[in-house]
Structure 1
Amino acid sequence: MELDMSADELKSALNRLRRAQGQLAGVIRMIEEGRDCEDVVTQLAAVSRALDRAGFSIIATGLQQCMTSDDPEVRDSAQMRARLEKLFLSLA
């Protein structure tokens, strides 16, 4: 299944990923500087949340496309449902 994201959806997902990338660079810098463990873990949690939100956004778009598809094989496919479930659970 090919994911077809609108310009707004794509921009939002890419912004989230870029934010996570920046946060991760900050975590690396913090570790290199010997910063406090609690601060590092807090920032790692923020990176994780940013990645999760980007992933969930992408999966939600895929689910929406499946639900609104005119092709009954796509909409009702147990195989497609299993693939989407696997993707969703990979982020959980």
Structure 2
Amino acid sequence: METSNHTHGETEACCSGDETVRKSHHSEKTKASLTARLNRIEGQIRGIKGLIEKDTYCDDVLNQIASVQSALNGVGKLLLEHHMRSCVVERIQEGDTDVLTELMTTMNKLIK
């Protein structure tokens, strides 16, 4: 699994805008990394579909599904790290502690 090249001292603007319209602003490097990972996952999903169409042994398909889930978790962790290091920190610095409730809700969805 790839690890983040994001060091503890670095920050990049992540989210901005008012409460109703928040947008992310990731560096081109971050976007490229996330996109590459998602492209690989998309290919894995197509591969799983092909395995099912070919009546591949169930255990082999299930192992591929586990691999995709792990890859998606990796994307989620990377994005969560960037979000916490930028958006969450910025909003707390602005006095917006509601971001913690939002973050906990999101984390609970991610770890289901």
Aligned length: 89
Residue number in structure 1 paired with 2:33: 12
Distance 1:45 1:79, change over 3 A: same
Flag structure 2 segments of 5+ consecutive residues without an equivalent. 1-21
Structure 2 counterpart of 1:2, which letter?
A: K
Q: Distance in 2 between matches of 1:2 and 1:22?
A: 27
Choose 78-87 or 25-34, whichever is displaced more: 78-87
Question: Equivalent residue for 1:53?
Answer: 74
TM-score, scaled relative to structure 1 = 0.85
Deviations 1:5-57 (A, max 9, x none): 11111111111111111001100100010001110000000111111111221
The residue that corresponds to 1:64 in the other structure is 85
Q: Secondary structure at the match of 2:23?
A: coil
Tell me the equivalent position of 1:23: 44
CA distance in 2, matches of 1:71, 1:78: 5
Per the TM alignment, residue 88 of structure 1 is displaced from its structure 2 partner at its CA by 2.0
Indicate the percent of aligned positions where both proteins have the same amino acid. 25
Distance 1:55 1:25 in 2: 20
Runs of 4+ in 1 over 2 A off after TM superposition: 69-73
Q: Counterpart of 1:78? A: 97
TM-score (normalizing by structure 2): 0.71
CA contact (8 A) 2:91 2:97 kept: no
